[in-house]
Amino acid sequence: MQTIMFASWGTAVLAVGACLGVAPLRRRLITPTIFRVMSRLLPRMSETERVALQAGTVWWDAELFSGSPNWQKLLDFDVRALSIKERAFLDGPVETLCRMVDDWRVLQDGDLSPEVWAFIKQHRFFAMVIPEQYGGLGFSAAAHSAVVTKLASRSVTAAVTVMVPNSLGPAELLLHYGTPEQQQHYLPRLAQGLEIPCFALTGPEAGSDAAATESLGIVCRGEFEGRSVLGMRLNWHKRYTTLAPVATLIGLAFQLRDPEKLLGDKEELGITVALIPSRLPGIEIGQRHDPLGIPFQNGPNSGKNVFVPLDFIVGGPQMAGQGWRMLMESLSAGRSISLPALSVGAAELATRVVGAYATVREQFNLPIGRFEGIEEPLARIGGLTYMMNAARVLTAGAVDAGEKPAVVSAMVKCYSTELMRKVLADAMDILGGAAISRGPRNMLERAYAAAPLGITVEGANILTRTLIVFGQGAIRCHPYAQREMAAVADNDLVAFDAAFFGHLGFVLKNMLRAFGLALTGGRFARVPGAGPQREYLQQLTRLSAAFALVADFAMATLGGELKRREKITGRMADALGHLYLASAALKRCHDEHQGVADEPLLRWSCEYAVQRVHEALAGVLDNLPNRPAAWLLHLLVFPFGSRHPGPSDALGAQVAQSLLDDRQTRADLTRDIFIPAEQEAGLGRLEAVLHKVATALSIKSKVREARRARSLQTLQQGEALSWAVDAGVISDGEHKLVLEAERLRDEVIAVDAFDPSHFTGAPVARRAAQPTLLDLH
């Protein structure tokens, strides 16, 4: 009986195996049923979603989705260094521009000075992406990023003014899609600053959902400059447009309709992009928004019955209706550069400031940086800044290598701006009263006030995280998902069969791989390198396998419902984003060959990222609606529990002390920013005083030890110093140095106070107000 039963089971297994293993038989007996089920489960894509998914390229994000990243490929990736010309521009015009900008004066006047505007135009800051043949600078993405980083450390207003025309703007669109005539006409004028561009995309009805724009163009015949032409009558209302109040050339996105079918058979042509001179009748422009008091030029613009020829469409009439694709492809490159660079500029500024301030500022007769309560945020500031800059450099390198990384650009924009907010919040806490008192001596207030701007623009982070990073990434970066969806859409059973069963094999392989790596903590994963680099590459390999497996289970159990489960997609985005950030930190350490000097920063960054990946995946499993699937995943990816402790207190102390005591580490972490002259209030004076205060600390420590040995702790500091001179503990010269350091310390921890007329609101009074010193201790 047992023999018969085993034979029956064996026959059944062989039959199933034959069906699955023989493609023609499988496609006849099994695949049609699966195809019908998947047709109901897979999400339906709109045309705008389809275009967004096809725009740009996939890069390292696809490796992380694979569950088995090729780390050697990342380590061997050549990040382009700045050219001699680009370095000279940073050290010359960019340095000069930073010196010219008085950011407190900019805040009071509500704009950059006329001299600064002229300098920006003269030195072609608006033309970094325009090739030299058109009169531009022809810079790499790395140089573009470096310029914005340095400017952002000096003035958010200057940085935004420069970065916007070089990211999503008319120049970028003209380079890739413009007709030769448009390029020859506009690019030289943009390069010389004869045209000030803006790009009008966001409207009251279309924010993050830019495709929902109600700005409308109707194809018709009309009069333009005295001649009858085939053109478009445009009506629009836009807002939040940077440089709009001063723009001479508007890049406009709108829905184009052809009710008379003058261009063909279609009435609804779709989103179109055109270049519109702001001087045309019917255009209202010039009013300004006030973005949290940061006075870069930003405002609304509108047009009523504005008629222009079809030749004003970027790329000419044949590009009518192609605007969404153009925007998606251009945005992926610009978003990779501008806001990550601005975020790093702010983070490096905060790092430079707190490293010095926590040494100079004393409470309870100790530098505040020596308290563990300050060590903790200091460590976060150092570790996050190290990781953010690594991601900035790596992503710009990908753009220079020809990538248009749609998902990576969304990740680096989203998480760089979020981490910038964390860094600045910690820095504000450390500076305390000095951070909340506005004035020319305040080194962080403008960057802190501007942090929500980066989080909101170029795709609000809430929606970028939940809809783009994983929502698009799950389809774009997955080795099989997009092929399955395309096969269903095309009703192609053969292509679906190959994709589906390839996907099934991928899932089974990842189940075994994820479980094996989880049991061993990734210790036997094959990765290059040695020491901490090898250790963390193994951990990331394990987490990549876990991420890929959880992603597949989420897609399989939720189907089309997944894109509406934004809490789950957001957590998956967090996991993917921090896998990328840790990858960048490891790549930075490898490329810079810092070894022991960078090890605490590398370890802190990776521990932080690994902790966030654990938390994100655990959050998905805790909330996955299909509980049996969640229990199985828990067993496979977290057999010993999902908690990862993150950076230890001891590691955090190492990072914090390196910011306080290791001048080279502090310099390396902040090498991309502008350092003001020593006589300038704020960071300039703080830098000048730091060395003297640090020297005085060692002298005061010597006095303190002598007092303790002789039981003289009750002496006040002035008495103690006089006693120390008389007792021969310190010299007269050391005594004078301490007194001088104390005087300078009092100067640099002082904050600004103003005459009451400053607060009357009268522009003349505000400009004339002179700050006075207010000592906080």
Residues with active-site annotation: 458
Distance CA 571, CA 583 (A): 18
Work out the burial of residue 120: count CB atoms within 10 Å of its CB; fewer than 13 is exposed, 13-18 middle, 19 or more buried.
Answer: buried
Question: Which residue in this structure is represented by tokens 């150092």?
Answer: 382
First to last CA, the chain: 93
Strands 751-753 and 366-367: unpaired
Segment holding 390, helix H or strand E:
helix 372-400
Distance CA 734, CA 175 (A): 63
**Whether 157 contacts 120, CB under 8 Å:** no
Non-local (6+) Cβ contacts of 657 within 8 A are 375
**Whether 251 contacts 275, CB under 8 Å:** yes
Non-local (6+) Cβ contacts of 130 within 8 A are 124, 136, 137, 138, 171, 175, 187, 190, 191
Taking alpha carbons only, the member of 312, 297, 136, 329 closest to residue 224 is 312
Tokens linked to 39: 């047709």
Work out the burial of residue 762: count CB atoms within 10 Å of its CB; fewer than 13 is exposed, 13-18 middle, 19 or more buried.
Answer: exposed
Question: Which residue in this structure is represented by tokens 């306080």?
Answer: 660
Share in percent of the chain as helix, strand, coil (round to 5): 65, 10, 25
Quick check: helix, strand or coil at residue 575?
helix
Question: Which residue in this structure is represented by tokens 């409470």?
Answer: 363
Question: Measured at the alpha carbon of residue 746, what is the angle toward residues 745 and 748, in degrees to the nearest 5?
Answer: 65
Quick check: helix, strand or coil at residue 137?
coil
User: How many residues are recorded in the chain?
Assistant: 777
Count of other CB atoms within 10 angstroms of residue 433: 11
Distance CA 343, CA 704 (A): 42
Cα 143 to its chain centre, rounded Å, is: 16
**Whether 292 contacts 453, CB under 8 Å:** yes
In 638-726, where do the E strands start and end? Answer: none
Beta bridge partners of 235: 216
Strands 227-242 and 216-224: antiparallel
Count of other CB atoms within 10 angstroms of residue 747: 16
**Whether 750 contacts 775, CB under 8 Å:** yes
Distance CA 86, CA 81 (A): 10
Strands 249-257 and 227-242: unpaired
Taking alpha carbons only, the member of 763, 762, 748 closest to residue 685 is 748
Work out the burial of residue 629: count CB atoms within 10 Å of its CB; fewer than 13 is exposed, 13-18 middle, 19 or more buried.
Answer: middle
Distance CA 164, CA 160 (A): 6
**Whether 605 contacts 644, CB under 8 Å:** no
**Whether 742 contacts 693, CB under 8 Å:** no
Segment holding 199, helix H or strand E:
strand 197-200
**Whether 600 contacts 594, CB under 8 Å:** no
**Whether 419 contacts 339, CB under 8 Å:** no
Tokens linked to 206: 């279309």
Question: Measured at the alpha carbon of residue 128, what is the angle toward residues 125 and 131, in degrees to the nearest 5?
Answer: 130
